[in-house]
Amino acid sequence: MSEEALRQQIQILKKHNARLKRIAHDARNKLSAALDGTGLCLWQLDIPSGKLVIFNRRWGAMLGFQPKETKAQFDVWRECLHPDDADDVLKAFYDHIEGRAPYYEALHRMLGKNDNIKWVLDRGRVTEWDDQGNPIKVTGTHIDMTKEKEYEAQLSSLAHHDPLTGLTNRHALPSHFNQMKAKGPLCVAFVDLDNFKHVNDTLGHRSGDEVLIQLSQRISAVVLPNVVIGRLGGDEFVLLIPFLIDYPKVRIMLQAVLDAALLPFDVDNGHAQIGASIGIAQVQELDRFEDALTRADEAMYQIKKNGKQGFGLAG
């Protein structure tokens, strides 16, 4: 082949190589855009070197980092694992690498920039081995699960907390009751507001809701440690008190709750004045939540009959 023909052949190969690079670059950009659109991060780990190839920028962005702000290395990823999750994540990873599991999968937390926490669903599988059968490459995906975990937490909160006041709701109180009863002495106090209907009738239900919110905050500020405050609904509240009924601080606390209810409430369209009647029952060995609550309710009813604004002990 002549020198001129060789030069022409080299030029053709250069053009062909440049075309292939453009095609590869375009394909990679399309892959990156497609993965970012789905929230996926595609990665590949070279085990001997610890080098990570990230096929799109989703991983760094998910953790709050700018491009090239962090190194794509296995050690960097490991350092970003949440301390409470790291051992389980690494065990799952090495169980797969060492042949004890068919694939790697872990739902865990990672620490991003400024220790911002993100939830990640991590999956991977060995895709290449050396001649001795040792794994040398792992390919997998990260999926940002933070929003899903936040939504899950919100659902859990809604299932166990009153949406207006944030207190424990009626459905969650029996579970708290059973747990506290198993640990030691327990009292149940039934709190019913006095003259609350008058607030709704004269100032409106919106102001009534504001009174309930403010009262919930006041009660939270005066109860003893480890007391669970719940709202049954309407103007009825429950206190689960982990003490014997004759413990002096129990009576002091109940009086503080009464005083908190008696203080006037400032609402958008005026001032509200209410009070409270409280019945309290010592939980017996065979009591269910409803049993103790019924006795506390009966004690509260006697206070209502005798003029309201006080607390009474169940017989």
Tally of domains within the chain: 2
- The answer on 94 and 53 residing in a single domain is yes
- Identify whether 9 is part of a domain: no
Tens digits of per-residue pLDDT, 283-305?
999 999 999 999 999 999 999 88
Among 106, 125, 151, the domain-final residue is: 151
Burial tier of 74 (Cβ tally within 10 Å: 0-12, 13-18, 19+): middle
50 φ/ψ angles, rounded to the nearest 5 degrees = 75, 5
- The answer on 252 and 123 residing in a single domain is no
- Identify whether 29 is part of a domain: no
> pLDDT in tens for each of the 315 residues of the chain?
566 665 666 576 566 555 655 544 554 554 455 445 455 788 899 999 999 887 656 566 677 666 666 777 899 889 989 999 999 999 999 999 999 999 999 999 989 888 888 899 999 999 999 999 999 999 998 888 888 888 888 777 778 899 899 999 999 999 999 999 999 999 999 999 999 999 988 999 999 999 999 999 999 999 998 999 999 989 999 999 999 999 999 999 999 999 999 999 999 888 999 999 999 999 999 999 999 999 999 999 999 888 778 888 886
- The answer on 64 and 181 residing in a single domain is no
Is 235 a known active-site residue? yes
- The answer on 283 and 214 residing in a single domain is yes
- Identify whether 147 is part of a domain: yes
- What is the CATH classification number for the domain harbouring 191? 3.30.70.270
Structure tokens at 63: 């953790």
In angstroms, the Cα distances linking 5 to 2, 13, 14, 17, 18 are: 5, 12, 14, 18, 20
CB 230 within 8 A of CB 167: yes
- Identify whether 105 is part of a domain: yes
- What is the CATH classification number for the domain harbouring 101? 3.30.450.20
Structure tokens at 47: 């085990």
d(CA 173, CA 9): 83
Domain holding 221, by residue range, is 161-313
d(CA 79, CA 32): 25
Quick one: which of 243, 237, 231 has its CA closest to 172?
A: 231
| Angle at alpha carbon of residue 99, lines to 95 and 103, rounded to 5° | 65
Q: Provide the 8-state DSSP code for 204.
A: -
Identity at 214, one-letter amino acid code:
Q
- Identify whether 26 is part of a domain: no
- Identify whether 31 is part of a domain: no
Among 151, 172, 207, the domain-final residue is: 151
- Catalytic residue chosen out of the listed positions 162, 235, 287, 297: 235
- The answer on 175 and 282 residing in a single domain is yes
- The answer on 212 and 93 residing in a single domain is no
Task: Please state the pTM of the whole predicted model.
Answer: 0.60
Among 106, 129, 151, the domain-final residue is: 151
| Total number of residues shown for the chain | 315
